């Protein structure tokens, strides 16, 4: 599946984010009174994957962020990290997803 835009809202109101072309800026930070962790996904001009972009203003209006992942505790962040690591193992063939669902 190929998208013209890396971040789209479907007709069913789902947000889909297509990674792999260097056109999504993945930001990290804190929210509120520095009590919540934050990961943001914003469309950008295509750059080499992993390019670090320093923001001149680290305080961004949340309305300008199409996708935000907000973590109220480290445990919830750990679960996301674990699922991403597992997905990586599926993609590299280290784990077989078919054998896990049978």
pLDDT tens for each residue of the chain, 102 residues long: 445 678 988 899 899 999 999 999 999 989 888 889 999 999 999 999 999 988 777 677 888 889 999 999 999 999 999 999 999 999 999 999 888 777
Do both 44 and 83 map to the same domain?
no
Structural domains counted in the chain = 2
Do both 27 and 46 map to the same domain?
yes
Do both 79 and 46 map to the same domain?
no
Do both 64 and 77 map to the same domain?
no
Do both 80 and 63 map to the same domain?
no
Question: Dihedral (C-alpha) 36, 42, 45, 47: value to the nearest 10 degrees?
Answer: 50
Residue 90 domain boundaries: 73-102
Do both 22 and 48 map to the same domain?
yes
What Å distances lie between residue 14 and 8, 38, 70, 78, CA to CA? Answer: 8, 20, 17, 24
Do both 51 and 7 map to the same domain?
yes
């Amino acid at each position: 599946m190929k998208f013209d835009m890396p971040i789209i809202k479907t007709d069913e109101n789902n947000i889909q984010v297509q990674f792999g072309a260097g056109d999504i800026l993945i930001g990290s930070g804190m929210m509120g009174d520095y009590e919540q962790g934050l990961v943001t996904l914003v469309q950008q001009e295509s750059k080499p994957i992993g390019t670090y972009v320093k923001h001149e203003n680290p305080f961004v209006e949340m309305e300008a962020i199409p996708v935000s992942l907000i973590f109220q505790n480290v445990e919830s962040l750990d679960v996301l990290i674990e699922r991403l690591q597992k997905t990586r193992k599926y993609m590299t063939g280290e784990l077989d997803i078919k054998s896990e669902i049978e």
